[in-house]
Amino acid sequence: MAKIAVTGSNGFVGGNIANMLLAAGHEVIGLVRSSPTKELPWKAVVTDLSDTNSIAQATTGCAAIVHSAIANDFNKLQQNRPYAYDSFVGLTQRVTHAANKNGAQIIYISTGWVMDGTGHLALESDTGNPVNFYGVLKSLGEQVIRDLAPETGAIARVDGVMGIHQTLEVGPRTQDVGFGYFASALVADLKAGKTFTVFGGELVNKVTAPSLASEIGAQIERIVSRKAAGTFHLVGDDAINRMDYARLICEIFELDKTLLREAAPSIEDQFPGNVPVDTSLSNLATKKALGLSSTSLRDLLIALKTEIDTGKITAITKPEVLV
């Protein structure tokens, strides 16, 4: 088993990745800017993420670094461009240089928002055409991997991520114009007998191929085990629009579909920039490269229900034993 570092391990996606790597028997260290306020299942190493040497020192002996850390204050990203660039592109450069210095694989977590939203089930070979600043920053991060680690780097795109947070004991974040937290927010409201307004209109990401955070972690483990390089789409098999997605969630969780509504997001809920309409990603090349089985949206939602009911992460993909 390998020693693997994860940036952003105290976040939603990063925490699930760290937990799945740990469950597969790997030694996991989370690179953090300050000591965590609660004990984590994996070792946290305080690291100066503004300094390549500090990152390299913290990741000595690591076979891989999974870079999932982001700055997610989108208004601040728009208002402070130097901060935005350094938080995304600069940090990715530093982490990649550190990985190269230690002979480690770099795995960069990206997003379907690098696409312009005019296509459907975009291929892994599509380098994207982002329509907002966040998408540009993530796309530039992808290019860092292509330029600095062309033979060993992996770009792992995700989209519409659902799941339970591994490091915060709080309820789900509310719905936004993307698909993150959409399922958990809907389930929480309908279980409480509240209506749930599915965002519609022209300022919304309308179609995605949803991911499950724990399944992303399991597929990252497959990338590490195979030392796979290139671009991978760690999403489910099915693309779906927002209202059909909401109805399917109701079916799986046995919730009242009559509590669903549809309306445009309020001004406060709108994204500060253009929104790609269709961010669905094809996973066919990824499944072939990683030897993955079916990951239907229905199965992912059943796994999510198990996670919510039991509090335990439940991935479909199992660790791979390579000879």
Q: 180 falls in which pLDDT band (50, 70, 90)? A: confident
* Paired tokens of 130: 């982002």
pLDDT at 49 over 90: yes
Average pLDDT estimate for 150-156: 98
What domains sit in the chain, N to C, each tagged with a CATH number? 3-310 (3.40.50.720)
pLDDT tens digits along 133-146: 999 999 999 999 99
Task: Specify the pTM.
Answer: 0.96
Strand partners, 294: none
Span 234-269, pLDDT tens digits? 999 999 999 999 999 999 999 999 999 999 999 999
Percentage of residues of the chain with pLDDT beyond 90: 86
Which residues are registered as beta bridge partners of 233? 157
Q: Over the range 74-92, which residues count as b (16 or more CB within 10 Å of their CB) and which as e? A: beebeeeeeebbbbbbbbb
pLDDT at 173 over 80: no
**Mean pLDDT score, 85-110:** 98
Q: Would strands 207-208 and 240-241 be described as parallel, antiparallel, or unpaired?
A: antiparallel
Q: 240-241 and 196-199 as β-strands: parallel, antiparallel, unpaired?
A: unpaired
Residue 322 has pLDDT above 50, yes or no: no
Q: In the chain, helix, strand, coil percent, each to 5?
A: 40, 15, 45
Please give the Cα distance from 312 to 230 (Å, whole number).
Answer: 31
Residue with token string 């483990």: 221
Q: What is the DSSP string of 249-271?
A: HHHHHT--GGGEEEEPPPGGGS-
Confidence of residue 323 (pLDDT cuts 50, 70, 90): very low
Q: Are 113 and 138 in contact (CB under 8 A)?
A: yes
How many angstroms separate the CA atoms of 247 and 148, rounded?
A: 44
The angle subtended at Cα 160 by Cα 155 and Cα 284, nearest 5°, is: 55
Judged against a pLDDT cut of 80, whether residue 94 lies above it is answered with yes
Q: Could you tell me the two tokens for 133?
A: 């600043």
- 119 closest CA partner among 243, 206, 201, 198: 206
Contact 275, 203 (CB under 8 A): yes
Work out the number of other CB atoms within 10 angstroms of the CB of residue 168: 13
